[in-house]
Chains A and B, each alone.
Chain A
């Protein structure tokens, strides 16, 4: 009894302390993350109080899969084609260049670390390197949105940053989804021939497309969010859809985030429900993200000591990749009116999808350093989320004053 009460007291005190610390960071740095929820998850989990034992953490899988799929689907709904068609070509070029260069740079460095420094064979090194490169590429729109809300004047850089953050996520989730399919883990029934890497990749996309088409039919004519209890009922249907799609992915040891990204893309581009779906996903994004942080905290355990150096190394790799990607996109690819060599500095926040990828990795590839991937991701998310808002704000302010001096201003493609 005493142990349990002590555990409850530890959680309460720990949470309040974490809340106060991160609240201070919120005031000083414009911190937008939810690190106190990682702390509470860690305190609840088997490593500290054990109130959530290892078995109970596993029992939470339905909620976690819902959270993973939720974030994946929300990302998919961003890519509504009629809206995308209005985006300026220059913006797209900058965003793609930034995302691909960042991913490529991080991947090259991480493959070097895993293969040449740690000594993993190519397949294992590639899976881990691609996963961490995907995590490194992600940039959260939360810091940019926070700056947008504060900004007294609309900067021409903001729409580029918002678009870049979304394309970063697209590149990262697609790379992660494909690597899990190509280096597929797990047995199939003896009655069928094991699919090839290409076939797994096709199956991965097909599950998302089939889910998208079926749920488009399922959600059509459901009534509006504005009807009484409309949001709760849509929530149930959406949660069901996401859990089914995520369940199918888990069933095949693939990535539910990627499957739901495809599902979200199809829902956003078909039928009349896309507005309600997107609205609901946006409203519930934060609680879902925080639930994921709690789970990540509860599931976290330190990596083996000989590999622990990779976590700080990963932070450095990410910083280097971000700056390289930002420099190439902002200084080389960008047109003169958008030229921002320090573009990478504005994209430091990582946010929910990074945690989602790491959690997903721990579930699908529990055989290949899951603790290392989760540790590196959490360390990176915690550090970058603290400084990101301030850095983004400075870059945006600089770009705004440059634009004012040059009397140039780019139209806002997303505003339409």
Chain B
């Protein structure tokens, strides 16, 4: 391990030596970005192995590597480089969306629908209620609630609570891939997290429009936004069905070079999503689900191919996510972050245990089900960006705190879930 760290330092040193020989190249991605992307990959791989040796999730290593090299700390990978490489992150999100959808099996959903539904409803209600209560309780310390009238204050607090209700399909899948877990805890968590993702986007749509209309005082605009977001949501589902049909035809008639096909599909869908305003992740999730559960073809070859890409995709996604974490902003609000994050964790713990007990789920689900619901990552971050962009009056300050809480959950959540899986005896790959 020390040798690998020394090699990484030598590589960075080598880059400094080459600096004066730099030849600016026009028309292609900055050569420096490419070099630093490689360094980021190697560092993430090394830190992932280190985390694994410490019996921690590898993705924590990827996050720490990104954080260490990113603009917040060492600054070796500056923000411009991350922007240059945003396509890679989109590719990662798309591939995981497709895989996540294909991992959601109708048979599993049917078998444990009672547990899944109860955990979903209890967890979301409890988290929403507790976060709303906590937010209102500590409102004097929250900059984005200052100076608001009671009505707008309530709706903005509700939006904040909804934002933090989101789980992380990426973290869940990354850990299930890493550990090879396929037991009741793994299946239940995956189903809850993926379904919650869809429900939260709907909730977010409503909460966002309410907050925006109450802050701006324009109900017409709110209806417009509501319809716009609903259209986006339904468009994503329709696009997902279309993509599912294309994937099915390919699996039926061609069935070759599946990894490459998946990558091309993601790029094409990403471009179409931008042009037609639908959600990349949701549409591919729906596509994966339909191919696995509805299409008259065997989806295993595609799922296997996607599994082959999973590890590199997770390394890219989490290393870049780590590099985007804002340490300074976190340090400025850390007491609030801890309070809200602990309140959220408490709500998840109580509600999911109660729900699992009522549903008479397996003991491991009752005991450790909550551990898989703490993590947050990409979806939550994207929603916080939407709030900051479209509701700048309160959104920018809200984003600072939300990102801090998401970073906390992104770090603590995977550790908890891995422990949960270990204790449940579902870890196949140690």
Interface residues of A (CB under 8 A from B): 1, 3-4, 8, 11-12, 16, 19, 37, 40, 44, 51-53, 56, 58-62, 65, 184-189, 191-192, 195, 203, 207, 210, 214-215, 217-218, 220, 228-229, 231-233, 235-237, 239-248, 250-253, 286-287, 290-291, 294, 363-364, 366
B110 proximal to A (CB < 8 A): no
A-B residue pairs in contact (CB < 8 Å), sample of 11: A44-B268, A52-B267, A52-B268, A52-B271, A56-B87, A231-B308, A240-B39, A244-B35, A246-B34, A247-B34, A366-B27
Say whether, besides A1-B276, A65-B34, A228-B429, A251 and B23 are in contact (CB < 8 Å). yes
Contacts of B44 in A (CB 8 A): 236
- Inter-subunit contact B20/A191 (CB<8 Å): yes
- Inter-subunit contact A60/B87 (CB<8 Å): yes
Say whether, besides A11-B268, A65-B34, A210-B14, A240 and B22 are in contact (CB < 8 Å). no
CB distance from B354 to the nearest CB of A (A): 36
- Inter-subunit contact A243/B21 (CB<8 Å): no
- Inter-subunit contact B19/A58 (CB<8 Å): no
- Inter-subunit contact A251/B22 (CB<8 Å): yes
The 4 A-B residue pairs whose C-beta atoms are closest, nearest first, are A186-B23, A247-B35, A244-B38, A243-B38
B107 proximal to A (CB < 8 A): no
- Inter-subunit contact A233/B11 (CB<8 Å): no
State how many residues of chain B have any CB contact under 8 Å with chain A: 62
Interface residues of B (CB under 8 A from A): 3-4, 6-8, 10-11, 14-15, 18-29, 31-39, 41-42, 44-45, 49, 84-88, 178, 180, 246, 253-254, 257, 259-260, 263-264, 267-268, 271-272, 275-276, 308, 310-312, 315, 429
Contacts of A229 in B (CB 8 A): 178, 311, 429
Contacts of A59 in B (CB 8 A): 29, 84, 86-87
How would you classify the secondary structure of chain B's contact residues: helix, strand, loop or mixed? helix
- Inter-subunit contact A51/B38 (CB<8 Å): no
Say whether, besides A189-B20, A286-B257, A290-B257, A247 and B4 are in contact (CB < 8 Å). no
Say whether, besides A217-B7, A229-B429, A243-B41, A236 and B312 are in contact (CB < 8 Å). yes
| Cα-based distance from A363 to B49 in the complex (angstroms) | 35
- Inter-subunit contact A61/B21 (CB<8 Å): no
Among residues of B, the one whose C-beta sits closest to the C-beta of A298 is B267
Contacts of B263 in A (CB 8 A): 291
Among residues of B, the one whose C-beta sits closest to the C-beta of A194 is B21
Contacts of B84 in A (CB 8 A): 59
CB distance from A235 to the nearest CB of B (A): 6
CB distance from B254 to the nearest CB of A (A): 6
| Cα-based distance from A229 to B88 in the complex (angstroms) | 22
Say whether, besides A188-B20, A241-B38, A290-B260, A62 and B88 are in contact (CB < 8 Å). yes
| Cα-based distance from A189 to B85 in the complex (angstroms) | 25
Q: Select which of A189, A195, A233 is within 8 A of B19 by beta carbon.
A: A189
Q: Select which of A228, A244, A246 is within 8 A of B180 by beta carbon.
A: A228
